[in-house]
Chains A and B, each alone.
Chain A
Amino acid sequence: MDWFILQLLNGLDKGSAYALIALGLTLIFGTLGVVNFAHGALFMIGAFCAVTLSRILTLSHQVVDETKTDFLGNPLKVDVPYVYDIFGESMGASIIDWAVPLSILFAIPVMIGIGVIMERGLIKHFYKRPHADQILVTFGLAIVLQEIIKYYFGANPIPTPAPEAFTGSFDFGALLGFDPGSIIYPYWRIIYFIFAAIIIGGVFAFLQFTTFGMVVRAGMADRETVGLLGINIDRRFTIMFGLAAAVAGLAGVMYTPINSPNYHMGMDFLVLSFVVVVVGGMGSLPGAVLAGFLLGILESFASMREVIEILPGINQVIIYLVAIIILLTRPRGLMGRKGVMED
Chain B
Amino acid sequence: MLGLEKKDATLLLIVFGLTMLAPFLLNPFPEGSAMAQFNAGYPDLMQRFVIFGIFAIGFNILFGLTGYLSFGHAAFLGIGSYAAMWMFKLFGMNVIPALALSVVMSGLFAVLIGYVSLRRSGIYFSILTLAFAMMSYALAYSVLATDMDGPDRQGLLQKGLTGGETGLQLTLQDPRILGQKAAEDGNLPVPNIFGLEMRSSAELELGNWVFTFSAGYYFSAVVMLIAFYLSIRIFRSPFGMMLRAIKSNQQRLNYTGLNPKPYTLAAFVISGMYAGLAGGLMASMDPLAGPERMFWTASGEVVLMTILGGAGTLIGPVLGAGAIKYMENILSKINSDILHGWFAFLPDGLEDFVVAIIYPFIGKGWHLTLGLIFMAVVIFLPGGLVEAGQRVARMFRGKKAEDDSKSASTEPAE
Partner of B138, one of A125, A142, A143, A313: A313
User: From residue A272, how far is it (CB to closest CB) to chain B in Å?
Assistant: 9
User: Are B132 and A324 closer than 8 Å at their CB atoms?
Assistant: yes
User: Are B116 and A316 closer than 8 Å at their CB atoms?
Assistant: no
Stretch at the interface among B117-125, B266-274, B335-343: B117-125
> A150–B371 Cα gap in the complex (Å)?
13
Stretch at the interface among B13-21, B139-147, B224-232, B399-407: B139-147
Interface size classification for chain B: 35 or more
- Asked if B134 is at the interface of the complex by the 8 Å CB criterion, the answer is yes
Most A CB atoms within 10 A — which of B131, B146, B303, B374? B131
- Asked if A135 is at the interface of the complex by the 8 Å CB criterion, the answer is yes
- Asked if B370 is at the interface of the complex by the 8 Å CB criterion, the answer is yes
Would A316 and B139 be within 8 Å (CB), given that A274-B130, A324-B132, A327-B124 are in contact? yes
A311-343 CB contact bits vs B (8 Å, 1 = yes)? 011001100110110011001000000000101
Would A320 and B139 be within 8 Å (CB), given that A136-B378, A147-B371 are in contact? no
Q: Which residues of A contact B379 (CB under 8 A)?
A: 122, 125, 137
- Asked if A265 is at the interface of the complex by the 8 Å CB criterion, the answer is no
User: From residue B271, how far is it (CB to closest CB) to chain A in Å?
Assistant: 16
> A141–B378 Cα gap in the complex (Å)?
11
B:95-151 near A, CB below 8 Å? 116, 119-124, 126-128, 130-132, 134-135, 138-139, 141-144, 146
User: Are B127 and A275 closer than 8 Å at their CB atoms?
Assistant: yes
User: Are A143 and B132 closer than 8 Å at their CB atoms?
Assistant: no
Partner of A135, one of B69, B116, B360: B69
Partner of A147, one of B296, B300, B307, B365: B365
Q: Which residues of A contact B67 (CB under 8 A)?
A: 130, 132
A181-208 CB contact bits vs B (8 Å, 1 = yes)? 0000000000000000000000000000
Nearest A residue to B119 via CB reads: A328
User: From residue A245, how far is it (CB to closest CB) to chain B in Å?
Assistant: 18
- Asked if B368 is at the interface of the complex by the 8 Å CB criterion, the answer is yes
Nearest A residue to B297 via CB reads: A267
Q: Which residues of A contact B132 (CB under 8 A)?
A: 320, 324
User: From residue A293, how far is it (CB to closest CB) to chain B in Å?
Assistant: 19
- Asked if A144 is at the interface of the complex by the 8 Å CB criterion, the answer is yes
- Asked if A64 is at the interface of the complex by the 8 Å CB criterion, the answer is no
> A328–B371 Cα gap in the complex (Å)?
33
- Asked if A151 is at the interface of the complex by the 8 Å CB criterion, the answer is yes
Q: Which residues of A contact B126 (CB under 8 A)?
A: 132, 135
User: From residue B110, how far is it (CB to closest CB) to chain A in Å?
Assistant: 16
Would A324 and B131 be within 8 Å (CB), given that A151-B365, A341-B124 are in contact? yes
- Asked if A214 is at the interface of the complex by the 8 Å CB criterion, the answer is no
> A109–B286 Cα gap in the complex (Å)?
50
User: From residue B327, how far is it (CB to closest CB) to chain A in Å?
Assistant: 13
Most A CB atoms within 10 A — which of B141, B144, B379? B379
Q: Which residues of B contact A343 (CB under 8 A)?
A: 120-122, 124
Q: Which residues of A contact B364 (CB under 8 A)?
A: 150
B292-303 CB contact bits vs A (8 Å, 1 = yes)? 000011001001
- Asked if B375 is at the interface of the complex by the 8 Å CB criterion, the answer is yes
- Asked if A27 is at the interface of the complex by the 8 Å CB criterion, the answer is no
* Sample of 30 A–B contacts (CB below 8 Å): A131-B122, A135-B69, A135-B123, A136-B374, A137-B375, A139-B300, A139-B303, A140-B378, A141-B375, A143-B374, A144-B371, A146-B371, A147-B367, A150-B364, A150-B365, A150-B367, A274-B130, A275-B131, A312-B142, A312-B143, A316-B138, A316-B139, A317-B135, A317-B138, A320-B134, A323-B127, A324-B131, A327-B120, A328-B116, A341-B123
**Chain B residues near A (Cβ < 8 Å):** 67, 69, 116, 119-124, 126-128, 130-132, 134-135, 138-139, 141-144, 146, 296-297, 300, 303, 307, 360, 364-365, 367-368, 370-372, 374-375, 378-379, 382
Question: Lowest 3 CB-CB distances: which A-B pairs, in order?
Answer: A313-B143, A143-B371, A316-B138
